[in-house]
Amino acid sequence: MFPAPNSDQHTSTQEDDDPIVQNIPRTITQLEQYVAQVHTRLCHLNDIIIPQSELTTDFALPRADIEAERNRLRSNDPSVIRQLAESYLMRYKELERRNKQQAHRLDALETRVTTAETVCSEQMRLNKEMADEAIRTLRQFVDAERRRTSNLKSANARVDSLTLDLSRSRSQCEQHEQTIARLGEQITSLNQGSNSLNQHLNKLQSDKNNLALERDRLLHDRETLSAQLTERDGIIESLRERERQMAADLRERDALIESLEEDRDQRDQELDKTRREFNNLLKEKDRDMEKLL
């Protein structure tokens, strides 16, 4: 009589132009038409009138037949009249019994008709309430379906926005990882250079210590040989010359050591700066990952 809504199609509805949503007004119209038809049929039942001929039965004889029967009885002898009277009395009793049965039947029929009218009226009322409730439910369903469609559109737009943000965040993470990898390579290279400088500095420091020991030894020799200055002026002069040369070499070594120390300090500063940048990038990446999560 009217199509039932399909729940599977409702779950897949995403727009107001969905066939199921378009069918709902037509379904409501069909339901209203069906309710009107039921109401018309029930009203038709209430309008049915039982013919008077079925409610009452005339068991009496026509007047002309009664007069003819009277004349015939008068012409007969008393014994026949008595027999006819007994026969008519029996027929009267039988008719009276039938009339009582017919009256009981009419009372029962009237009771059934009254009950049927009550049932039909109650059924009409219940059908109208059921139809009103069904129409109201369908209209609520239409409103809920429209709200669900609107919410679904908003959710889809939100998902698209989040997907775009996720792609952008992934691209930034890849760039940060590449930058971190480059900085790691630079740090490794700087560490290798720093190790090389430390080894060279240690070697120069060892040479400096050796030269200092040599100078101390020469000073000790000079003090020891100071008593023989007269006899060994030539040796002392040569030793002084050697001392000056060694002092010049020592100053040159000291200058080189200071230059290397400055170079090492500069490298250490660059290494600290690179480490700070690396730590900042790691913190920025952690913040981006926390935002993404």
Is position 224 within any domain? yes
Rounded to an integer, the average pLDDT of 121-140 is 79
> Can you tell me the mean pLDDT for 41-51?
60
pLDDT per residue as tens digits for the range 193-237 = 888 888 888 888 888 888 888 888 888 877 776 766 677 677 667
**End-to-end C-alpha distance for the chain, whole angstroms:** 54
Tell whether 120 and 263 lie within a shared domain: no
Closest-CA residue to 177 (of 251, 98, 284, 91): 284
Distance (Å) of CA 56 to CA 61, 104, 202: 15, 12, 141
Contacts for 179 with CB less than 8 Å, ≥ 6 apart: 281
pLDDT at 200: 83
The residue to which tokens 């012409």 are assigned: 75
User: Binning pLDDT at 50, 70 and 90, where does residue 47 land?
Assistant: low
Could you tell me what percent of the chain has a pLDDT over 90? 4
Give the DSSP H/E element, type plus range, for residue 79.
helix 78-225
- The pTM (predicted TM-score) of the whole model is 0.33
| Mean pLDDT score of the chain | 76
**Which residues are within 8 A (CB) of 261 and not within 5 positions of it... i.e. 6 or more apart?**
201
Please check whether residues 213 and 194 belong to one and the same domain: yes
Q: In this structure, is residue 30 part of a structural domain?
A: yes
Q: Are residues 48 and 145 in the same domain?
A: yes
Are 161 and 174 members of one domain?
Answer: no
- Give one DSSP letter per residue of 199-217, joined into a string: HHHHHHHHHHHHHHHHHHH
* pLDDT reported for residue 84: 73
Question: Is residue 264 included in any domain, yes or no?
Answer: yes
Within this chain, do residues 265 and 243 fall inside the same structural domain, yes or no? Answer: yes
Domain identity same for 65 and 120:
yes
Same domain, 157 and 192: no
Structure tokens belonging to residue 84: 């006819």
- Within a domain: residue 1? no
Number of domains the chain contains = 2
List the one residue out of 75, 286, 280 whose CA is nearest residue 173: 286
**Residues 176 and 162 grouped into a single domain:** no
Concatenated DSSP letters of 96-124:
HHHHHHHHHHHHHHHHHHHHHHHHHHHHH
Q: Is the pLDDT of residue 59 over 50?
A: no
Q: For residue 178, is it within any domain?
A: yes
Residues 49 and 144 in one domain: yes
| Residue at which a domain ends, from 108, 141, 166 | 166
Residue 111 and residue 22 share a domain? yes
Residue 2 lies in a domain: no
Q: Which of 166, 193, 219 is the last residue of a domain?
A: 166
| End-of-domain residue from the set 166, 201, 223 | 166
Question: In this predicted structure, what is the pLDDT of residue 22?
Answer: 60
Give the span between the Cα atoms of 122 and 129, in whole angstroms.
10
Q: Which long-range contacts (CB under 8 A, 24 or more apart) does 31-35 make?
A: 31/2, 31/131, 31/134, 31/135, 31/138, 32/131, 32/135, 34/1, 34/2, 34/131, 35/127, 35/128, 35/131
**Domain contains 48:** yes
**Over the stretch 83-106, which tens digit does the pLDDT of each residue have?**
777 777 888 888 888 888 888 888
Contacts made by residues 6-15, CB under 8 angstroms, sequence distance 24+: 10/145, 13/145, 13/148, 13/149, 14/149, 14/152, 14/153, 15/149
Domain range for residue 196? 170-292
If asked whether residues 79 and 160 sit together in one domain, one would say yes
Is 177 found in the same domain as 117? no
CA distance 105 to 64: 31
5 pLDDT band (50/70/90 cuts)? very low
Residue 222 within a domain = yes
* Pick from 92, 56, 91, 86: nearest CA to 73: 86
Q: Report d(CA 223, CA 50) in Å as an integer.
A: 161
Q: Of the ranges 36-40, 122-126, 133-137, 154-158, which one carries the lowest mean pLDDT score?
A: 36-40
